[in-house]
A and B are shown apart, each in its own frame.
Chain A
Amino acid sequence: DGGITQSPKYLFRKEGQNVTLSCEQNLNHDAMYWYRQDPGQGLRLIYYSQIVNDFQKGDIAEGYSVSREKKESFPLTVTSAQKNPTAFYLCASSKVGAFVEAFFGQGTRLTVV
């Protein structure tokens, strides 16, 4: 079945360490997105990519990095420069242009101790 997979579901890291969150889709979607959610708040866009080897910053890109070397994969690295990395991270994908169809991962809850 086609879908979007995020892993792991829960992730713990020590302060100061970089950590990479995985997002993979087999839907042949061109566009992929990363969002962050803090307790009691809505989802905010970190980065998005509409085509391989290209990506754009969202509203809260500072302290994060991404790559899009393959259409299927859009990993997010939370760097040590991110001041408050503990949050829920959601990956999504969609077709470009039509935007009628969008799929969502289950999310990764990152806790930095």
Chain B
Amino acid sequence: KNEVEQSPQNLTAQEGEFITINCSYSVGISALHWLQQHPGGGIVSLFMLSSGKKKHGRLIATINIQEKHSSLHITASHPRDSAVYICAAPAGNKLTFGGGTRVLVKP
């Protein structure tokens, strides 16, 4: 079993819909990262959070340290949000990545 699990693996939404991606982890962490990877491969760091909630534009990330669970929400989704979203958690001396969620937003 992976130490960091994401769901769903794939998600298709219509433009304007609210999207939720989940990340569960089995290791104790001090912070969790959400990353975005566009076609072409470049990775952008979206959030690093250790408690509560963070918001950036239409993106909202929440984390519950006790339940070892984090969610990434996309409000009013747009085709340009189509990408792979990856959560990453430190495990020991390393970052462990979830498998990613491939999001496709259709116009």
CB of A106 closer than 8 Å to a CB of B: yes
Chain A 27-66, CB-CB to B under 8 Å as 1, else 0, gives 0000101010100011101001010000000100000000
10 A-B residue pairs with CB within 8 Å: A31-B93, A35-B97, A42-B100, A50-B93, A58-B94, A96-B93, A102-B88, A102-B90, A106-B42, A109-B40
Residues of A at the B interface (CB closer than 8 Å) are 9, 31, 33, 35, 37, 41-43, 45, 48, 50, 58, 88, 90, 92, 94, 96, 98-107, 109
| Closest chain A residue to B50, Cβ basis | A100
Give the one of A42, A98, A105, A109 with max B CB within 10 A. A42
Partner of B48, one of A37, A41, A102, A109: A102
Known contacts A104-B45, A109-B41; is-contact A43 B93 (Cβ 8 Å): no
Partner of B31, one of A35, A37, A96, A100: A100
Q: Which residues of A contact B88 (CB under 8 A)?
A: 43, 102
Residues of B at the A interface (CB closer than 8 Å) are 2, 29-31, 33, 35, 40-43, 45, 48, 50, 86, 88, 90, 93-100
Distance (whole angstroms) from the CB of B50 to the closest CB of chain A: 6
Q: Which residues of A contact B100 (CB under 8 A)?
A: 42
Distance (whole angstroms) from the CB of A113 to the closest CB of chain B: 18
Are the C-beta atoms of A94 and B42 separated by less than 8 Å?
no
| Closest chain A residue to B97, Cβ basis | A43
- A54–B35 CA distance with the chains assembled, in angstroms: 28
Q: Which residues of B contact A106 (CB under 8 A)?
A: 42-43
Are the C-beta atoms of B98 and A101 separated by less than 8 Å?
no
Partner of A43, one of B29, B31, B40, B86: B86
Distance (whole angstroms) from the CB of A112 to the closest CB of chain B: 16
